[in-house]
Structure 1
Amino acid sequence: MRHVPRTPAQERGATTPSLSPRTLAGPVAPASERGHNGLTDIASGAWPRLCAALQRPCPPEGLLIAVSAWCIVSANAPFWHDLHVAGAAPGVQVAFGVALVALHALLFGLFAFGRALKPVLCALLVVTALASFFATHYAVLFDVEMIHNVLRTNPAESRELLSAGLLLHVLLRGVAPAVLLALVPVRRDAIGRAAVRRVAFLLAMALLAAGALGSASQGIFSLVRADHALRYRITPGNVLVSAVRAAGERDEVPPGERQPVATDARQTTTPVMRRPRLLVLVIGETVRADHWGLNGYARDTTPQLRARGVVNFPDVSACGSSTEVSLPCMFSALGRAHYDRDAIRAQQSLLDVVARTGVTVDWLDNQSGCKGVCAGTGMETMTAAIDPAACRDGRCLDAVLVTALRQRLDTAQGDTLLVLHMLGNHGPAYFERYPETFARYRPTCTSADLARCAQPAIVNAYDNAILYADAVLGQLIDLLAARTDRDSALLYVSDHGESLGEYGLFLHGAPYAIAPAQQLQVPMVLWTAADSARSMGVDLACVATAAQAPHSHDDLFATVLGFFDIATRAYDRRRDIAGGCRTG
């Protein structure tokens, strides 16, 4: 046998060192000499510990608490900011935080169980990240109506809301923690044992929430009473609770199943007895009253309407702060005065009543639909086929409505009601609502992510869009004025207003009870030729005087009935904007 000589160290009894990565790498320098390599060593040591932690089965209830805590901490900056501004003591804030974690863990625990645990929690993380972005950047409050708005947002509107900031926010605060959650193994127990543990967990969370709220009840409940919107800022509870409530509400009722309204309606005069009448009812989008030049705004955003001598209504209130609420409401016999969402959607609209009397009714839409208002009478959506020059990337500027009206005027017969639904000032991409030639006010915000723009630039883009809407309205009036074969009128009213940063709010859709005036006060104007007014027996000077009084969307129902001489018990002369000014 060949003899292998032993080294001096072996002769002294030392063992042969193992060939570990650290040994192969050579001698280790002292920490003071390693510099940044020390961080590398720490990280290399932390990674195995993290992997080991991820391999250790975690009880489902632990994940519920972890996800709940993450949501409350990472997705509620506006909520915590409001608590701080309100002067909440540190103890109150801690108690509130503990209660919210417990309540959300309880809520999650009701439907995230078994094999659905991870998918549900991962989805919640992404939804929470989405909601927190809009709550942080636009101060969006997620009540039931906002959920309806979200569910009925069309693809074009959705694309405009996409931004690099949104994607990065969702990636970091939603997708990344969801991926981490997906890697964590979950302990599996027998069904009976898991059920008992889940019930005990839910009871524990309820007791913890009650205890936390009770420990600072005076401070917490005084904050909630002082700020009614506070509960709408708690994410994701606001989204989940509002979504459940929205799901429980009645959806669109088919036209044939809707309750008839004003069944006694009939025309007291017809085109056989007089000239045919044409009312062009223009529904504006997201235009607020205090940026309307005719209302005294510092900028003359309505030069075309001013030149055409329209009757301006300076004090008009909207039915709601969103299209989803305002459109059905303003075309309803109930209105805001007797507002009931389900009742309104279960009834026929003003358009059904008018059409039943023999008046031709059409809805020309350049927005997101009629929200069920025109379900019984039909709707034509504006496309590039009508006016290619006005359309691009699947969306048309409001000039397309001018072309559509010109085509309808050539074929209209008898009494006609045409509803034109404008794209208007729909946000947040105000800069895409007008041609470059209307960019009078600069610099303009050219991003749909309003957080990237200074407020003056946002206002400039918004005002430019009003300036363009004014030009479109001027062209519509000119088309009507050129026709002498009928008595014509144009009535314009916006569906709701818009917040442009006041009180930290952007866009619209705030709960009606707490919505600011910027979202609820809207412009309204009436135009009719002098000879048409005389033919219809309307004193325009009287209407101009009456216009100075407060008005609202609730006036629309009676005003349209009055224009076409439709008599019914549902007609309220006091609500007709020309009701007290008819000489006939």
Structure 2
Amino acid sequence: MISTMPNLPPRQPSSADAPLTSLRVTNVPLSATWASVGTASWIVGVDNLSFWRTFALAQDGLSATTAASTVGLGIFLVLLFAAVLRPFVVGRAGIFLLCTLLVTSASVSHYLDAWGVLFDKGLVRNMIETDSREVRELLSFPAFVDVLWRGIFPAALLWFIGIRNDGWKQSAVQMTLLGVVAASVASALLATSYGTLASTFRNHRELRFQLVPTNYINAVYGYIKGEDTTPTALLQVAPDARRTETLSGRPLVLVLIVGETARAANFSLGGYARQTNTALVNRDILYFQNVVSCGTDTATSLPCMFSGLGAEAFSVQKARERENVLDVLLRTGVSVQWLDNNSGCKGVCARVPTRQMPTSGIDGLCGEDACLDEILTQSLEERLSEVKQDTAIVLHQMGSHGPAYYRRYPAPGKFQPTCDTNRIQSCDRQALVNTYDNTIEYASQNIARIVEAARARAPAIDIAVLYISDHGESLGERNIYLHGLPPMLAPSEQTHVPMLAWLPAQTQDRLKLPISCLASVAGQKYSHDNLFSTLLGFFGVATAAYRADLDVLAIARASHACGNAPQRLTLK
């Protein structure tokens, strides 16, 4: 027997039949205008905690006026950012733009909030020039969680909700209305709060480096604008340079140690209460108390100190287009060698013999991706044993490079307890200072080893050792960590750097410079600007580019302690 199915009404399609690609959190996608306003509101409110903190602390207490100014500024920023974004929010490209902005803003905001850094084109340059090891040290699980909830989650939500296409007429009306409302709020804000806002932004210039997303957009634009990729002929520096120093039959050697992230505030040789330089005591070390760096990051300070341009006229682009003092020394017959245990020389050693230290493979000295600075001393001893002519050897240390300070010295370290993480902002302040001080103590031990290696060769060569740090570091003072702040806003901890020298008796005689003369001027103000002419003066290079008033050796010879008139090297 054959049964038949009753006639059933046709099944209505359901949402389950929709393809997966069309799934949305809601069936009502946002208009492009509301998506722009929502994104701007999230960024202004959630990704600008550092900006609002600085703005609030800049006010004279809480009052109706300051509250109104703060709320009004927030509304204006939301409308301004939304008005700027709206013309670009079209279709899938518009969704992608907003999602990218959310994730990028969250990433930038994390480091602004965690470390108190300011975002400028110098920071962009540091990010681009950093290596994989430094990148790994900047990453952490809390950073991922922060970016996840502040950036990835809202971006994913926006992506799944979607944006509808309102048509060009409706879009034009919405954009016009948004612009009019933003202009109206701006007018009202200026009329009621101009004095408060003008005073705040004038006296707290760091605010413009904290305001997300304009800070990183302007920084990236400034970096790209300053990176002229047009090939140019390398400008020869000091083409008239000649050696005037009389040959004595013994090589004249300078070991120049470029420290990394060492700040003068933590050098006991300069008065710091803790003994962080015990290895340098009783070694005839001369310490210079008042030295200022050219910049607050390696990418600026390193090329600047060798360039001869001076801090005021310096730019990274200018430095790339010209020779530096190492080129001048090499051209005048001085052997130049660069030994690097850092992430590179930032172009300074591009035309001189260079050796990059290994990053692994040496038991007791190397970790997963970096070696301790003792490796430089071993390489230096080999070089000194081979010296046969006047030579400049530059040792570029890893030094106190953060945030993983605990990896810069052999465990356990002199000062305890320590901050054994790259999340330095989560550590107890004293533990963080202990860890940083351990890096300074270890750097002092390495300087002492280098001095002893030089002393061992002193019977055969005339040798000197000079140490100078590239920039300083912030350790949580005023809630600021690491370095890289714009020089006009940087605290002294990031710009006041240590410098020291060692000259044995034979070298003092060779240079006609008793150490007492040099000691008499050690307390004067110096900067990275002094290095260029000091190196030329040390090797007796005469050139119009040389300045006796910047040569520390010439300044010492001209001091009252020496009773000499200023001397300038002249061409013969």
TM-score above 0.5: yes
Structure-2 separation of matches of 1:525 and 1:362:
21
Structure-2 separation of matches of 1:107 and 1:548:
53
Q: What residue in structure 2 maps to residue 329 of structure 1?
A: 304
| 1:464 and 2:441 correspond | no
Structure-1 separation of matches of 2:517 and 2:94:
67
Amino acid at match of 1:407: E
How far residue 204 of structure 1 moved from its aligned partner, in angstroms, is: 3.8
The partner residue of 2:202 within 222, 225, 230 is 225
Structure-2 separation of matches of 1:167 and 1:66:
23
Aligned pair count?
A: 530
Q: What residue in structure 2 maps to residue 282 of structure 1?
A: 257
Structure-1 separation of matches of 2:363 and 2:385:
20
Amino acid at match of 1:200: T
Amino acid at match of 2:281: R
CA RMSD of aligned residues (A): 2.2
How far residue 194 of structure 1 moved from its aligned partner, in angstroms, is: 7.5
| 1:354 and 2:335 correspond | no
Q: What residue in structure 2 maps to residue 447 of structure 1?
A: 421
Q: Could you give the per-residue CA deviations for residues 138-178 of structure 1, whole angstroms, max 9, x where no partner exists?
A: 10110121121122221101101111211110111111111
Amino acid at match of 1:71: I
How far residue 496 of structure 1 moved from its aligned partner, in angstroms, is: 0.6
Structure-2 separation of matches of 1:107 and 1:295:
52
- Written as runs of structure 1 = structure 2, the 5 A alignment for 1:99-178 is 99-109=76-86, 111-178=88-155
Change (3 A) 1:373 1:108: farther
Q: What residue in structure 2 maps to residue 477 of structure 1?
A: 451
Amino acid at match of 2:141: A
Q: Could you give the per-residue CA deviations for residues 532-573 of structure 1, whole angstroms, max 9, x where no partner exists?
A: 221232221100111111111110001100111100011111
Change (3 A) 1:194 1:522: farther
| 1:392 and 2:367 correspond | yes
Change (3 A) 1:387 1:275: farther
Contact 2:116 2:480 in 1 (8 A): yes
Q: Any idea what SS the aligned residue of 2:30 has?
A: coil
Change (3 A) 1:159 1:198: farther
Moved more, 543-552 or 410-419: 410-419
| 1:263 and 2:239 correspond | yes
Where does the alignment leave 5 or more consecutive residues of structure 1 unmatched?
Answer: 1-50
How far residue 103 of structure 1 moved from its aligned partner, in angstroms, is: 2.5
Contact 2:91 2:164 in 1 (8 A): no
- Written as runs of structure 1 = structure 2, the 5 A alignment for 1:181-196 is 181-189=158-166, 192-193=168-169, 196=172
| 1:78 and 2:54 correspond | no
Change (3 A) 1:384 1:128: closer
How far residue 387 of structure 1 moved from its aligned partner, in angstroms, is: 4.6
Contact 1:433 1:465 in 2 (8 A): yes
How far residue 197 of structure 1 moved from its aligned partner, in angstroms, is: 5.3
Structure-2 separation of matches of 1:316 and 1:458:
25
Q: Any idea what SS the aligned residue of 2:26 has?
A: helix
Q: What residue in structure 2 maps to residue 92 of structure 1?
A: 69
- Written as runs of structure 1 = structure 2, the 5 A alignment for 1:302-313 is 302-313=277-288
Q: Any idea what SS the aligned residue of 2:465 has?
A: strand
Amino acid at match of 2:128: L
Q: Could you give the per-residue CA deviations for residues 14-40 of structure 1, whole angstroms, max 9, x where no partner exists?
A: xxxxxxxxxxxxxxxxxxxxxxxxxxx
How far residue 581 of structure 1 moved from its aligned partner, in angstroms, is: 3.9
Contact 1:276 1:413 in 2 (8 A): yes
The partner residue of 1:235 within 209, 212, 216 is 212
How far residue 257 of structure 1 moved from its aligned partner, in angstroms, is: 2.5
Contact 1:65 1:105 in 2 (8 A): yes
Change (3 A) 1:106 1:426: farther
Q: Could you give the per-residue CA deviations for residues 177-197 of structure 1, whole angstroms, max 9, x where no partner exists?
A: 11111101211255x548745
Q: What residue in structure 1 maps to residue 6 of structure 2?
A: none
- Written as runs of structure 1 = structure 2, the 5 A alignment for 1:495-506 is 495-506=470-481
Amino acid at match of 1:178: A
Change (3 A) 1:156 1:208: farther
Q: Any idea what SS the aligned residue of 1:524 has?
A: strand
The partner residue of 1:516 within 491, 495, 499 is 491
Change (3 A) 1:523 1:64: same
Contact 1:317 1:521 in 2 (8 A): yes
How far residue 113 of structure 1 moved from its aligned partner, in angstroms, is: 3.7
Contact 1:283 1:419 in 2 (8 A): yes
Structure-2 separation of matches of 1:113 and 1:410:
68
Amino acid at match of 2:26: L
How far residue 236 of structure 1 moved from its aligned partner, in angstroms, is: 1.8
Amino acid at match of 2:129: R
Amino acid at match of 2:434: N
How far residue 115 of structure 1 moved from its aligned partner, in angstroms, is: 3.0
Q: Could you give the per-residue CA deviations for residues 327-371 of structure 1, whole angstroms, max 9, x where no partner exists?
A: 111111111143344333322111111111121112211112111
Structure-2 separation of matches of 1:392 and 1:149:
24
Contact 1:488 1:528 in 2 (8 A): yes
Q: What residue in structure 1 maps to residue 290 of structure 2?
A: 315
How far residue 394 of structure 1 moved from its aligned partner, in angstroms, is: 1.8
Q: TM-score, with normalisation over the residues of structure 2?
A: 0.88
The partner residue of 1:63 within 35, 38, 59 is 35
Q: Any idea what SS the aligned residue of 2:301 has?
A: helix
Where does the alignment leave 5 or more consecutive residues of structure 2 unmatched?
Answer: 1-22, 558-563, 568-572
Contact 1:102 1:208 in 2 (8 A): no
Structure-2 separation of matches of 1:293 and 1:274:
39
How far residue 411 of structure 1 moved from its aligned partner, in angstroms, is: 2.6
Amino acid at match of 2:190: G
Contact 1:487 1:536 in 2 (8 A): no
Structure-1 separation of matches of 2:68 and 2:46:
20
Q: What residue in structure 1 maps to residue 16 of structure 2?
A: none
Percent identity (aligned): 38
Q: Any idea what SS the aligned residue of 1:364 has?
A: strand
How far residue 94 of structure 1 moved from its aligned partner, in angstroms, is: 0.7
Contact 1:100 1:209 in 2 (8 A): no
Q: Any idea what SS the aligned residue of 2:346 has?
A: coil
How far residue 127 of structure 1 moved from its aligned partner, in angstroms, is: 1.2
Q: Any idea what SS the aligned residue of 1:242 has?
A: helix
Structure-2 separation of matches of 1:402 and 1:117:
56
Q: What residue in structure 2 maps to residue 368 of structure 1?
A: 343
Change (3 A) 1:504 1:535: same
Amino acid at match of 1:370: C
How far residue 412 of structure 1 moved from its aligned partner, in angstroms, is: 2.9
Larger Rg: 1
Amino acid at match of 1:465: T
Structure-2 separation of matches of 1:251 and 1:427:
30
